[in-house]
Amino acid sequence: MQGLSAMMRSYPLPHTATQRKLDAVAELLPWWQRGLVHVQLLQVRRLRAGNQTLGWLGGSSARELPSYLSARQWKSVVNQVNAALEGWRTAAVDGVRNLIRALDVDEELRAELYRINVRRGWWCERLILDTATGAEATAEGLSRARELIGTAAETAPVSQPEHGPHHGNGRTDRNG
């Protein structure tokens, strides 16, 4: 392992990067963290508006991203946020399912709530439950689903990137 230097984290991590590269990465980390927070706020807002799919921020959302990261870096940030939110949504399905089991409701509403939950339609204003018949979720079912996801989010909140290991330094002077 001659020529490899090691940086201490919770364990030694061998690498071949020069000190200059390490410094460049260290300089980028606060901006990356800031980007994670920014994109997560946008993506969570989209989910709570009833959009069921995550993906690249297109159109005006992409054009309005700050210039402190490159387009390639923004794509990686969006992918990282989407992966974290997808993991949270998968866990939320289980959490909401457990809450539905504990509800004292009639079986018809319980079945509808299970169907809303499996489609992750918690924040939808309108949700097709069966494409073959065109059956839609009722207003009561959607309202209860919003209550349930709120309860589930209290016990397992969406991760907060600003509480991660790399905190931004609060600077706002880098390229915008």
pLDDT, tens digit, 9 for 90 and up, residues 49-58: 888 888 787 6
Residue 114 to residue 175: CA distance in whole angstroms: 47
| Cβ burial 51-74 (10 Å sphere, 16+ → b, else e) | eeebeebeeeeeeebeebbeeeeb
Q: What are the tens digits of pLDDT across the range 33-52?
A: 999 999 999 999 989 988 88
Q: Average model confidence (pLDDT) for the chain?
A: 83
Confidence of residue 173 (pLDDT cuts 50, 70, 90): very low
| pTM for this prediction | 0.74
Residue 11 to residue 35: CA distance in whole angstroms: 27
- Residue 148: per-residue pLDDT: 96
Residue 158 has pLDDT above 80, yes or no: no
- Residue 32: per-residue pLDDT: 93
Element holding 107 (H helix, E strand)? helix 107-118
Residue 98 has pLDDT above 50, yes or no: yes
- Residue 57: per-residue pLDDT: 76
Give the range among 32-41, 61-70, 128-137, 165-174 with minimum mean pLDDT: 165-174
Amino acid at 62: A
Residue 62 has pLDDT above 90, yes or no: no
Residue 136 has pLDDT above 60, yes or no: yes
Residue 113 to residue 169: CA distance in whole angstroms: 44
Report, as an integer, the average pLDDT of 90-116. 95
DSSP code string of 58-78: -HHHHHTS-TTS-HHHHHHHH
Dihedral sign, Cα of residue 86, residue 162, residue 40, residue 113: positive
How many residues would you count in the chain? 176
Q: For strands 128-130 and 12-15, give the pairing.
A: unpaired
- Residue 160: per-residue pLDDT: 64
Confidence of residue 115 (pLDDT cuts 50, 70, 90): very high
- Residue 174: per-residue pLDDT: 37
